[in-house]
Amino acid sequence: MYGKIKEHLRAELEAIEDAGLYKKERIITSSQKADIKINTGQKVLNFCANNYLGLSNHPRLIQAAKDALDSHGYGMSSVRFICGTQDLHQELEKRIADYFGTEDTILYAAAFDANGGVFEPILTSEDAIISDTLNHASIIDGVRLCKANRLRYESADMEDLEYQLKVAQKYRFRIIVTDGVFSMDGHVAPLDKIYELAEKYDAMVMVDECHSAGVVGKTGKGVSELFNLRGKVDIITGTLGKAFGGAIGGFTTGRKEIIDMLRQRSRPYLFSNSIPPAVAAAGIEVFKMLKESNDLHDKLVENTKYFKQKMLDAGFDIKPSKSAILAVMLYDAKLSQEFAAKLLEEGIYVIGFYYPVVPKEQARIRVQISAGHEKEHLDKAVAAFTKIGKELGVLK
Ligand SMILES: *Cc1c(COP(=O)(O)O)cnc(C)c1O
């Protein structure tokens, strides 16, 4: 039985490899942090994790998780509504709502599930979802799983959004959906303008803050803080897998009735296991820490500013960014791969992206800054970039 599909899959896999798109995994043998060890024995500086606040390996999170293993056990063996809700889950939900200034929060196993399960419970074929073309795959899947009418607008293009909102007036309810920070460029969604248009055309607003929460805004509380829209965004989705500790877990936070309805009808919530107590406890610790002090976020902002300026001074072309993602533009696909490989030899771990992950002729190296980086790490990276840049003729 398997023979034919085996041949078919082999051919497909070969095609993926031939196109240079086969994803190989590099093996890390240390914990996740700024200076990691890989299985070749090499020590490298990590500039490609979403570890924005440097919390992935933080002693306070590790201790909180260990304590919870002792007090609350290992797993829940249940979904939330049967016998999978502990005090820890509820406390974490409250702390997330407090952080974002929202009314209530619902936890998921991942932000992928939060986005996958957010639309179908609240919208029907009478309604419309208006989605940014560059939105994350999980939003696209969530939209697919819902019967609402689908409209798309060119990324961050407010003229196009307005046009789509006009088209969508014939439907009962409308929701505009956007990533807070777009992960390939690091640009921020123009949420101020989106909010204005939403008011004008009677639409709800949903923002996926996965790459922006902990990073963007005066105290890092995301694009809703950046644009003074705290408490005004109807739905925020986010992850515990990036700035907030980097383990696993996602959430939807926002209007009380929406969250209530998700608890009743959201399929990834109803039919998938509760997050482990240790993860919930470490999550609680994250939001405690972020309430106590803004030092980690301040350091991230300082590090990003420092690295970006040094790279611009060195002559690199970096896309405008208000986040901790910096796209070092090389434009040429092959060059981006060669550049990243040479950087790794210099002990700098970054990824080169090219078409179809980014538009044609827009190949780049994506650098992600962390509060876990020290000045000497940043200086070493800039020096390596400059050396390879000269070697490959990118810099004069
Ligand atoms: C990473 C990411 C997700 C998925 O988060 P997980 O918790 O890892 O599932 C969803 N949306 C955006 C915009 C992301 O960057």
Active-site residue, 242 included: yes
CB of 211 within 6 A of ligand 1: the answer is yes
Statement: residue 19 has pLDDT above 90? no
CB of 142 within 6 A of ligand 1: the answer is no
Q: Which of 72, 136, 242, 297 is catalytic?
A: 242
Q: Domain coordinates of the chain in residue numbers? A: 20-49+294-391, 59-292
Return the pLDDT at 274: 98
| 222 alpha carbon – ligand 1 mean position (Å) | 14
Query: Which helix (H) or strand (E) is 92 found in, with range?
Result: helix 87-100
Residue 129 — very low, low, confident or very high, per pLDDT cuts 50/70/90? very high
Return the pLDDT at 344: 97
What residues pair up with 176 in beta bridges, in sequence order?
130, 205
CB of 208 within 6 A of ligand 1: the answer is yes
81-103 mean pLDDT = 98
* Average pLDDT over all residues of the chain: 97
Token pair of 74 as six digits: 């290992």
User: Nearest Cα to 252, choosing from 154, 177, 171?
Assistant: 177
Percentage of residues of the chain with pLDDT beyond 90: 97
Q: Are strands 149-153 and 128-132 parallel, antiparallel or unpaired?
A: parallel
* Separation of alpha carbons 173 and 128, rounded Å: 6
Residue 255: partners with Cβ closer than 8 Å, 6 or more residues away: 102, 103, 104, 234, 235
63-88 mean pLDDT = 98
Residue 183 DSSP SS3: coil
Closest protein CA for atom 6 of ligand 1: 111
Residue 282 — very low, low, confident or very high, per pLDDT cuts 50/70/90? very high
Q: Which residue has the tokens 């897998």?
A: 241
DSSP 230-295: TTT-SEEEEESSSTT-SSS-EEEEE-HHHHHHHHHH-HHHHTSPPPPHHHHHHHHHHHHHHHH--H
85-103 mean pLDDT = 98
Return the pLDDT at 298: 98
Helices (H), 117-232: 137-144, 158-167, 191-200, 223-226
Residue 150 — very low, low, confident or very high, per pLDDT cuts 50/70/90? very high
Active-site residue, 183 included: yes
Whether the Cβ atoms of residue 250 and residue 112 lie closer than 8 Å to each other: yes
* Separation of alpha carbons 130 and 177, rounded Å: 6
Q: Which of 56, 138, 183, 224 is catalytic?
A: 183
CB of 241 within 6 A of ligand 1: the answer is yes
Alpha carbon distances (Å) from 120 to 26, 246, 268, 360: 37, 27, 11, 34
The alpha carbons of the chain give a radius of gyration, in whole angstroms, of 22
CA dihedral 65, 70, 74, 75 (to 10 degrees): -100
Model pLDDT for residues 138-147, shown as the tens digit of each residue: 999 999 999 9
Q: What is the pTM of this model?
A: 0.97
User: Nearest Cα to 282, choosing from 67, 75, 77?
Assistant: 67
Give, rounded to a whole angstrom, the gap between the first and last alpha carbons of the chain: 59
Percentage of residues of the chain with pLDDT beyond 70: 100
Statement: residue 240 has pLDDT above 90? yes
373-384 mean pLDDT = 98
Q: Which of 242, 323, 357 to mutate to test the pocket of ligand 1 (most atoms within 8 A of CB)?
A: 242
* Phi/psi of residue 351, nearest 5 degrees: -115, 135
* Phi/psi of residue 114, nearest 5 degrees: -60, -50
* Phi/psi of residue 390, nearest 5 degrees: -70, -45
The atom of ligand 1 lying closest to the CA of 208 is: 13
Return the pLDDT at 21: 83
Return the pLDDT at 1: 85
Return the pLDDT at 369: 98
Which CATH number applies to 59-292? Answer: 3.40.640.10
User: Nearest Cα to 238, choosing from 207, 210, 269?
Assistant: 210
* Separation of alpha carbons 44 and 127, rounded Å: 50
The atom of ligand 1 lying closest to the CA of 211 is: 15
* Separation of alpha carbons 344 and 42, rounded Å: 9
Closest protein CA for atom 15 of ligand 1: 210
Model pLDDT for residues 178-237, shown as the tens digit of each residue: 999 999 999 999 999 999 999 999 999 999 999 999 999 999 999 999 999 999 999 999
CB of 209 within 6 A of ligand 1: the answer is no
Task: For residue 190, say if its preceding peptide bond is cis, omega within 30 degrees of 0.
Answer: no
| 30 alpha carbon – ligand 1 mean position (Å) | 23
Residue 34 — very low, low, confident or very high, per pLDDT cuts 50/70/90? very high
Whether the Cβ atoms of residue 118 and residue 237 lie closer than 8 Å to each other: yes
CB of 250 within 6 A of ligand 1: the answer is yes
| 211 alpha carbon – ligand 1 mean position (Å) | 8
| 170 alpha carbon – ligand 1 mean position (Å) | 32
Statement: residue 20 has pLDDT above 90? no
Query: Which helix (H) or strand (E) is 284 found in, with range?
Result: helix 277-292
Return the pLDDT at 365: 98
| 112 alpha carbon – ligand 1 mean position (Å) | 6
2-11 mean pLDDT = 95
CB atoms within 10 A of CB 200: 10
286-290 mean pLDDT = 98
| 183 alpha carbon – ligand 1 mean position (Å) | 10
Statement: residue 302 has pLDDT above 90? yes
CB of 210 within 6 A of ligand 1: the answer is yes
Statement: residue 275 has pLDDT above 90? yes
CATH architecture of 20-49+294-391: Alpha-Beta Complex (3.90)
